[in-house]
Amino acid sequence: MPMAAALVLTGTAPLHASEHGAPAAPAPDAGQVSPVPGVSPNPCERLTAGEVKFAVGGSARVTFATAAAYGSTAVLLTSCVQEGDGSYRQEWQRTGFAGRNGFAPRGRMWENTLFSPTGSFTVTEALGREDPGTELKYYQVNEHSRWGGEEGRTYNQYFEGEGGQADENLWRYMQSGLYEQAAVINWNRPPDMPVTQGASFAIFLHAGNAETWGCISTDLATVTKFLKTAVPGDRMVMGIQDDVFLASTVRSDALTAERAAEDEAAEKRAAEQRAAAQREAEDAAAEPDWEPYAVGVFSLALFITYVAAKLRGSRARPEQSPRAEAEEEAAIR
């Protein structure tokens, strides 16, 4: 029985909903993401060094979702952007979750297995409450939005209508917060592969930051950031450490060391700039404000000049005898 149909008949929680046990983990703070134990922390350098088993088709942006081993649900999400010389550098790194049973071993990716698919998949479509400014084809979810889970032409496709029991009600999952924003991972659908009925559907990168029934989940801010920079043809490489990467080589180790040195130098420069700005602020605060004193001195100088002029004027005036003063006064009258 298709999973969504089972949910409708039994009255259990919605597909992908957070009925998976523990509440969603808080989103990690920027710059404080701890790599998942057992997972390579440097996938961008390893991609540059040719140590990734899956082809990425020269995509300008590749996002890795890797777990330590089969059965592990914690994943490390790393976004890599291609430089002009063909190498890849890290844009951001966050933690997240895969399906409740982890990533699927080869040939095990089917409905109701609670696996996430393994491989390299393009991203060409997205959906959610409101377009965040992505270049992907975007479906603004409404009350009639569905994702096909019933056998037929709508299987693993977006459509609008009443839908059947196995079709996902996108509106409901959006209202729960899970599909507030989501990117469609092209597992079991064009352009990556033809649709196979029953080989699972609705594999998204979405919000919620908790174990899923097959999707990759992380915090909403990271999904939104992903969508804002995504273009059709960007890829997601997904799976466990040993399925995704070849053995580490001297080249990737050197690239990792180089990146660490660049990051350390950049942080040192930033620290020096902060210290210089702090010193300037302290110097400005300690420097006395001479302007009030200057105004006071200038005013005093003007007063002194005025008094001196008055004194000079009084000395220059000739003294008159009492008789002359009386005659002058009589003349005025």
pLDDT of residue 327: 59
pLDDT of residue 149: 97
Q: Could you tell me how many residues make up the chain? A: 333
Q: Are 4 and 170 in contact (CB under 8 A)?
A: no
Q: How far apart are CA 1 and CA 328, in angstroms?
A: 130
Q: Answer whether 0.95 is exceeded by the pTM.
A: no
The pair of structure tokens assigned to 205 is 């990168």
pLDDT of residue 1: 33
- Per-residue pLDDT tens digits of the chain, which is 333 residues long: 334 333 322 232 333 433 333 333 333 333 344 589 999 999 999 999 999 999 999 999 999 999 999 999 999 999 999 999 999 999 999 999 999 999 999 899 999 999 999 999 999 999 999 999 999 999 999 999 999 999 999 999 999 999 999 999 999 999 999 999 999 999 999 999 999 999 999 999 999 999 999 999 999 999 999 999 999 999 999 999 999 999 887 566 666 666 666 666 767 777 778 877 787 777 777 766 656 666 666 677 676 776 667 677 665 555 555 565 555 556 555
pLDDT of residue 247: 87
Report strand pairing: 137-140 vs 119-128. parallel
For 201-205, the CB contacts below 8 A with 24+ separation are 201/111, 201/147, 201/148, 201/149, 201/155, 201/156, 201/168, 202/15, 202/16, 202/147, 202/149, 202/156, 202/168, 203/116, 203/117, 204/127, 204/179, 205/63, 205/65, 205/123, 205/236
pLDDT of residue 248: 81
Q: Are 148 and 179 in contact (CB under 8 A)?
A: no
pLDDT of residue 143: 98
